[in-house]
């Protein structure tokens, strides 16, 4: 069975990524792209859905003993798992070299001291664990073929077939290195050129060292920021610049529940926050590539803009169920694709306009067609901003007048006014200003509960939403406004536990009333609950700092850092009762606000050495 979500580490080649467990098992890998079908899918089932494990024989015989320790080699995406047995120590080095043709996973067993008896267990399963390939030997390699796909394994380890698995026991001695290279290719093509595993390792470490050269921050939280930035880079589809939300699908928000989604796509709302993190960190090339993906993806009519796209800008993300997979810890359905792509979410135009403003202020010049698209987006938004929507959390219940969505509609017109005033952009500035002010008045009148002193999730509702923590960051109201401080206090009181871990919203029955409230039942149209949302918890830390509660902000931020796994990665959510991570992993939307909070806490530190260079 798969391990806990936090038991996994990430390796990747900037086109896809693999998850490798603490037990030495590669349990998830989609080839050749992030959104391709998985050829190892044990993560969403068991070993019979595909895995590639290398571990001491003793670890197979007695799970948990011997224990492994893991680390990334310096500031890189090269993973080391060290095993210590009664007879010696050995390290398994895992990485995916940047492609010069076909995608590959390299696993090198290195003897450190004494001798270690190990076992390799390979179970290839194409099409998300449903197709057992024809396995045969060809040119000294073990080859698996099924339909359009083929995988070749080059290794000196003498694997033998046992049912639908290939296994071997072997021994490594001190100073010995035993490499294995698994390479994917379309089955109709000739075998790709062999990969030199040791040269590939050298080049991979060299690449990450060069990539980090623009990074100059060496403040208090450098280690956490570097690992978050490397994770964002690892989630980038290099050919287009798109950044996936996560490399996985259907890791649950509640074990055994139905809140399981496919996150191997690119969300527009992530664009601005990610751009800010990349630009502040000195990675202008990555920011420019991400902006380029965004501009190509949204090209066309404004009414056709989606909330998310494929990594190449694809629009059709049809959602279906892989019903042969039992799901992570029995969490079903296992979803492929994401039906939320067709939802109406009125915050998206605001996210787009905010991103355009950021690109101009940072010196990234947008493509000419976006100037015309901006005007068209605002014309369309003027017609639809007053409608209910599904909100940024992609509610699958009835549409509501979500306050965060309305605030982001305000952002869209506010940024248009600023672009005109500060950058000479043409447009009906007075008209945009009038719409902006009208939205502002409505939100303050209909989205604020004066009795409790807080903004609410939607008009006529008593429910709260952690997205309200973003209000002061948008400029909608200043941080010291009583309505802002009251909202922060209400979120702490009603959505956060004693350690500051914040839920997105209440998943209990709706208490909304009035037109457009969406009726009764769960606020999001789904059964079951979820964990604390880690991005929202970082938002709370940032909101505490903005509202003058810096020491509380720092204490919360540092508690959140302790939730990272042993190699510095975070999923989407955290269960404070069970003490475990939940949701798709690792999650870009979690690591981005971590970066911002770290920078801001260092920048505003009092009585502390400031080493921040931005």
For each successive 10 residues of the chain (614 residues), what is the average pLDDT? 93 98 97 98 97 96 82 98 96 96 97 98 98 92 96 97 95 98 96 95 98 93 98 96 97 94 93 89 91 88 90 96 97 95 88 86 73 87 95 84 97 94 84 98 98 96 96 97 98 92 76 35 66 96 96 97 98 96 97 97 65 34
Dihedrals φ, ψ of 505, to 5°? -170, 170
pLDDT at residue 508, rounded to an integer = 55
pLDDT at residue 367, rounded to an integer = 66
pLDDT at residue 525, rounded to an integer = 65
Please answer whether residues 153 and 182 qualify as being in contact, where contact means their C-beta atoms are separated by less than 8 angstroms: yes
Alpha-carbon gap, residue 591 to 562, rounded angstroms: 14
Please answer whether residues 115 and 175 qualify as being in contact, where contact means their C-beta atoms are separated by less than 8 angstroms: no
- Return the SS3 of 389: strand
Beta bridge partners of 308: 267
Please answer whether residues 327 and 249 qualify as being in contact, where contact means their C-beta atoms are separated by less than 8 angstroms: no
DSSP 8-state class, residue 328: G
Whole-Å CA distances, 203 to 100, 105, 113, 403: 12, 14, 26, 49
Among residues 95, 67, 96, which one has the least CA distance to residue 80? 95
- Return the SS3 of 340: helix
Cα–Cα–Cα angle for 230, 152, 265, nearest 5°?
40
Whole-Å CA distances, 251 to 2, 130, 262, 335, 581: 11, 18, 8, 10, 10
For the CA atoms of 137, 140, 142, 147, the dihedral, rounded to the nearest 10 degrees, stands at -60
pLDDT at residue 614, rounded to an integer = 31
pLDDT at residue 65, rounded to an integer = 77
The tokens for 414 are: 């506010």
Alpha-carbon gap, residue 555 to 499, rounded angstroms: 10
Please answer whether residues 16 and 97 qualify as being in contact, where contact means their C-beta atoms are separated by less than 8 angstroms: no
Three-state SS for 403-445 is: HHHHHHHHHHHHHHHHHHHHHCCCCCHHHHHHHHHHHHHHHHH
Does an H or E element contain 382, and which? Answer: helix 368-384
The tokens for 571 are: 């999923």
Among residues 513, 524, 450, which one has the least CA distance to residue 482? 450
Number of alpha carbons in the 13 Å side-chain half-sphere of residue 542: 24
Cα–Cα–Cα angle for 348, 354, 355, nearest 5°?
90
Q: Percentages helix, strand, coil for the chain, rounded to the nearest 5?
A: 35, 25, 40
Number of alpha carbons in the 13 Å side-chain half-sphere of residue 234: 30
Among residues 52, 93, 99, 45, which one has the least CA distance to residue 73? 93
pLDDT at residue 366, rounded to an integer = 65
Alpha-carbon gap, residue 267 to 271, rounded angstroms: 7
The tokens for 51 are: 């895995």
DSSP 8-state class, residue 348: H
């Amino acid at each position: 069975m798969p391990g806990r979500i936090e038991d996994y580490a990430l390796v990747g080649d900037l086109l896809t990524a693999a998850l490798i467990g603490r037990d030495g098992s590669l349990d998830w890998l989609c080839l050749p792209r992030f959104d391709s079908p998985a050829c190892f899918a044990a993560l969403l089932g068991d070993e019979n859905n595909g895995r590639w494990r290398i571990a001491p024989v003793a670890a197979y015989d007695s799970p948990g003993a011997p224990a492994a320790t893991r680390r990334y080699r310096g500031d890189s995406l090269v993973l080391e798992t060290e095993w210590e047995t009664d007879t010696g120590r050995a390290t398994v080095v895992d990485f995916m070299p940047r492609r010069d043709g076909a995608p590959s996973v390299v696993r090198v067993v290195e003897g450190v001291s004494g001798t270690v008896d190990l076992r390799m267990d390979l179970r290839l399963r194409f099409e998300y664990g449903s197709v057992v390939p024809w396995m045969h030997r060809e040119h000294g390699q073990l080859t698996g073929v099924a339909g359009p796909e083929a995988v070749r394994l080059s290794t000196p380890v003498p694997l033998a077939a046992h049912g639908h698995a290939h296994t071997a026991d072997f021994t490594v001695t001190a100073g010995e290195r035993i490499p294995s290279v698994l390479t994917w290719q379309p089955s109709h093509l000739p075998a790709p050129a062999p990969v030199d595993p040791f040269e590939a390792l050298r080049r991979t470490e060299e690449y990450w060292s060069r990539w980090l050269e623009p990074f100059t921050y060496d403040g208090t939280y450098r280690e956490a920021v570097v690992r978050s930035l490397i994770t964002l880079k690892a989630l980038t589809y290099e050919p287009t610049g798109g950044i996936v939300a996560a490399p996985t699908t259907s890791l649950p928000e509640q074990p055994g529940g139905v809140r399981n989604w496919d996150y191997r796509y690119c969300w527009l709302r992530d664009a601005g926050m990610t751009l800010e993190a990349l630009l502040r960190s000195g990675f202008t090339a990555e920011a420019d590539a991400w902006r380029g993906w965004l501009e190509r993806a949204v090209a066309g009519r404004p009414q056709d803009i989606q909330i998310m796209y494929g990594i190449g800008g694809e629009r059709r993300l049809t959602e279906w169920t892989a019903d042969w997979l039992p799901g992570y810890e029995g969490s079903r359905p296992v979803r492929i694709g994401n039906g939320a792509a067709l939802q109406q979410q009125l915050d998206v135009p605001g996210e787009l306009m905010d991103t355009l403003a950021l690109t101009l202020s940072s010196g990234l010049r947008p493509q000419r067609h976006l100037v015309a698209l901006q005007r068209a987006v605002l014309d369309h938004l003027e017609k639809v901003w007053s409608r209910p929507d599904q909100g940024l959390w992609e509610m699958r219940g009835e549409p509501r007048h979500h306050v965060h969505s309305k605030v982001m509609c305000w952002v869209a017109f506010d940024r248009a006014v600023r672009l005109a005033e500060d950058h000479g952009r043409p447009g009906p500035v007075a008209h945009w200003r009038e719409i902006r002010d009208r939205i502002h008045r409505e939100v303050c009148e209909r989205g604020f509960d004066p009795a409790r002193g807080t903004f609410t999730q939607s008009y006529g509702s008593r429910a709260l939403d952690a997205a309200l923590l973003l209000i002061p960051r948008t400029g909608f109201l200043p941080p010291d406004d009583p309505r802002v401080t009251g909202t922060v206090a209400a979120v702490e009181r009603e959505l956060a536990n004693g350690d500051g871990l914040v839920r997105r919203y209440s998943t209990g029955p709706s208490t909304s009333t009035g037109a457009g409230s969406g009726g009764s039942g769960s606020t999001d149209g789904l059964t079951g609950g979820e964990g604390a949302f880690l991005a929202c918890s970082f938002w709370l830390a940032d909101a505490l700092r903005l509202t003058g509660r810096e020491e509380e902000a720092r204490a919360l931020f540092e508690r959140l850092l302790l939730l990272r796994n042993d190699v510095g990665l975070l999923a989407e959510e955290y269960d404070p009762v069970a003490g475990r991570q939940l949701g798709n992993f690792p999650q870009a939307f979690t690591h981005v606000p971590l970066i911002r909070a770290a920078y801001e806490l260092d920048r505003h530190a009092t009585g502390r050495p400031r080493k921040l260079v931005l």
